[in-house]
Amino acid sequence: MPAARDDYLLRLIQQAAAALRHLRTRLGGGASAEEVSREADEAIGTLLGPQRAALERLDAWSAANLLGDADRVEVWSDLIALQADLREVSGDSAGSAALRQRADALKSHVRR
């Protein structure tokens, strides 16, 4: 069973990383920030699954430890950083700063 769980997590991480690359390409290709943000949010939902609401309420250290997989935490922080960029483009500097702080905090707690 642990091997099946590991395979599932690896597929989730690969999907989220592919979504992140795709979203960056779409943004560079002229897609709207709102549309890309919505898709980034969906990718985060897929990556975190049913734990999402709890993970988003926790401080970065607790969230990273609960999630437990460094690659998932890293991709999650990258998706949040993309959302921060999108908020900045949309003129929401405060929202961008908050998301950037969360992404940086998560990234700092990635255990390798």
- What is d(CA 52, CA 94) in angstroms, rounded to the nearest whole number? 23
Confidence check: pLDDT of 4 > 80: no
- What is d(CA 93, CA 4) in angstroms, rounded to the nearest whole number? 42
pLDDT at 107: 95
User: What is the DSSP code string of 22-52?
Assistant: HHHHHHHTT--HHHHHHHHHHHHHHHHGGGH
pLDDT at 111: 61
Confidence check: pLDDT of 6 > 80: no
Sorting pLDDT into bands at 50, 70 and 90, what band is 1?
Answer: very low
Tens-place pLDDT, residues 31-78 = 898 899 999 999 999 999 999 999 999 999 999 999 989 999 999 999
What tokens appear for 87 in the block? 């908020």
pLDDT at 5: 73
- What is d(CA 61, CA 83) in angstroms, rounded to the nearest whole number? 20
The model carries a pTM of 0.89
